[in-house]
Structure 1
Amino acid sequence: MTTSRTTARPRPFGRTLCAMITPFTEAGALDLAGARKLAARLVAGGCDGLVLSGTTGESPTTTDTEKAELIAAVREAVGDRTSLVAGVGTADTRHTVELTRAAEEAGADGVLLVTPYYSRPPQEAVEAHFRAVADASALPVMLYDIPGRTGTRIEPKTLIRLAAHPRIVAVKDCSYDLLGTQKVLAHTDLAYYAGCDEHVLALYAVGAAGCVSTVANAVPGHITAILDAFDAGDTARATELQLRATPLIEAMMAAGLPGTVTAKALLTRLGLPAGPVRPPLLPAGRETADTLLALHAQLVAS
């Protein structure tokens, strides 16, 4: 017997979010037509939220102007059918505030704030940074906890304090700390989004609002189906779908290359807008692209 999921936890940015790549032309320029096409495909595939200019969107190598142009172009393509969350996090609080205000003007529904990187601020400074940015606009904020890239964790105690801020409403969780995540879920109303594709179902099962998926760039319908099955109470089906996606998840996210590189390699093979990655990233080799395409074909055929 199955029962549907009931939860009072909010979903401020939707449930199935894609960490969308940023398409470029072969010459390396921003491909706004490609971004519109890809965004429309993702929404048609079940994504009710798109994260633009995140890690997968190559935010370190896109300009402030390009970030704003991307938001406006995607908004034009999807209208109000999906929420748009703009990655605005930098290592500089002042610059992050500027990007937040620009994202608001361009039409974003929220912002994604990564922990300031390289300078490795202590928790007091991390908290002050997030509060300063959240105070700078009317947009709701999703914090991005990814210490493997930034070098600094947003500690659970810090998250619990930040949850009291009226505009800090969500967390993209790449902490690989399930205990810490559950502590925050137990003590706050923060909407958690699994930022690691292997954790989509696991985090959802303990109360997350959804996911921010890189793999959804290629298989939005499959990621959506995992959460659909769980919501319908069919946990066996949800587990089957999560495990079925594991080979592709591993190849895209845990095989030694950034997800941006593997996502663009696969989308290119599928004839979808992607283009090259920007240096210092390098494109995936032919063997990697062949493997990704084979695993994609296996998943969609199963």
Structure 2
Amino acid sequence: MTRTGSVPGRPFGRLLSAMVTPFGPDGSLDVDGAARLATYLVDEQEHDGLVINGTTGESATTSDAEKDQVLRAVVEAVGDRATVVAGVGTNDTAHTVELARSAEKAGADGLLVVTPYYNKPPQAGLLQHFRTVADASGLPVMVYDIPGRAGVAIETETMCRLAEHERIVAVKDAKGDLGESAWVIKRTGLAYYSGEDKLTLPLVSVGAVGVVGVPTHVFGPQTKAMILAYEEGDVARARELHLQLLPAFCGFFRTQGVILTKAALTLLGLPAGSVRPPLVPANAAELGRLREDCAEAGRIIGSADQMAHHNELGVAL
């Protein structure tokens, strides 16, 4: 890959967001909105890459056809200047393989493959799953380790064995165990990306190369500056930015992250739309607290009138 920020050891760039999937007023896929949002994130929020059809993209409630549509729209919009990583993970290996091959045909630069969720496979099953998916296409794979959602963690020895596969090149780490992450970083060439915004700086301090974020939809330049400051040896500045951004890093997850991210984008006049059931829109109290968190982190989003309108719109949907 030759996209901006893609270098050896950092295969997908430094700053990525797990992009939300915009929907129209009737809940249908907003393909044009997805292209506009991707352009905003790359051109104005300084993103090196985007993850499409991940959890924050509401992959659980979008069809395979919708996933293909939104991926192709984003590739066309920003694929010449940013890496586009397709979320293809499911709890069915055969289905994940189908999605991986479809993403390759659509022009994705890489694949995000989450730990199979709900069925809680043993470590041998995880090895087989990830290797099978990596064998199914020519694209590099980012393994997504998130035991809080999947119900099972990828153990250190398993991750080290996965690193032996030539196309398994990176990890989105939402395990919350810096010690085990550090061991994998020490023992392998896997590029680690923080999957928890509040742990980005701690992970970078033990060798991570970037973040696949959520508040980064709104705080992209500041998050990138934090990572760069640390890499350039200005630890004090990196810590200052981390503490400044902490209210947003935590605040976007006071309820499900996509709910508040879509609320923030709507208040900024950007494509987002509502969420699909069983998720529900942010309520008035959640919107108020979101504005407070963003203001404390250094960005004002929306007015009181806009919040009221958004809440009415969300309830109507």
Superposition TM-score, scaled by structure 1 size = 0.94
1:90-109 to 2 correspondence within 5 Å? 90-109=90-109
Q: Contact (CA 8 Å) 1:9, 1:189: kept in 2 or not?
A: no
Q: Contact (CA 8 Å) 2:134, 2:168: kept in 1 or not?
A: yes
Query: Bigger relative contact order, structure 1 or 2, given CA contacts below 8 A and separation 6+?
Result: 1
Corresponding residue for residue 3 of structure 1 = none
Corresponding residue for residue 194 of structure 2 = 194
Indicate yes or no: 2:287 matched with 1:293: no
CA offset digits 1:202-261 (Å, max 9, x no partner): 1111111111001111221111111121222211111110110111121112x2x11111
Q: Contact (CA 8 Å) 1:113, 1:143: kept in 2 or not?
A: yes
- CA separation in 1, counterparts of 2:175 and 2:296? 30
What is the one-letter code of the residue matched to 1:276? S
| Other structure's SS at 1:66 match | helix
* Alpha-carbon offset, residue 290 of structure 1: 2.1
Indicate yes or no: 2:287 matched with 1:283: no
Corresponding residue for residue 36 of structure 1 = 35
What is the one-letter code of the residue matched to 2:282? A
1:23-172 to 2 correspondence within 5 Å? 23-44=22-43, 45-172=45-172
- CA separation in 2, counterparts of 1:288 and 1:274? 17
In structure 2, the CA distance between the partners of 1:16 and 1:134, relative to structure 1 (3 Å rule), is: same
- CA separation in 1, counterparts of 2:286 and 2:299? 20
- CA separation in 2, counterparts of 1:154 and 1:301? 36
* Alpha-carbon offset, residue 293 of structure 1: 2.2
- Give the gaps of 5 or more residues in structure 1: 1-7
* Alpha-carbon offset, residue 180 of structure 1: 0.7
| Other structure's SS at 2:170 match | strand
* Alpha-carbon offset, residue 131 of structure 1: 0.5
Count of equivalent residues: 293
What is the one-letter code of the residue matched to 1:261? I
1:232-247 to 2 correspondence within 5 Å? 232-247=232-247
- CA separation in 1, counterparts of 2:86 and 2:229? 28
* Alpha-carbon offset, residue 299 of structure 1: 2.5
CA offset digits 1:128-185 (Å, max 9, x no partner): 0101000000000000000000101111100000100000000000001111101101
Q: Contact (CA 8 Å) 1:86, 1:111: kept in 2 or not?
A: yes
- CA separation in 1, counterparts of 2:30 and 2:23? 5
- Give the gaps of 5 or more residues in structure 2: 1-6, 301-317
- CA separation in 1, counterparts of 2:204 and 2:184? 14
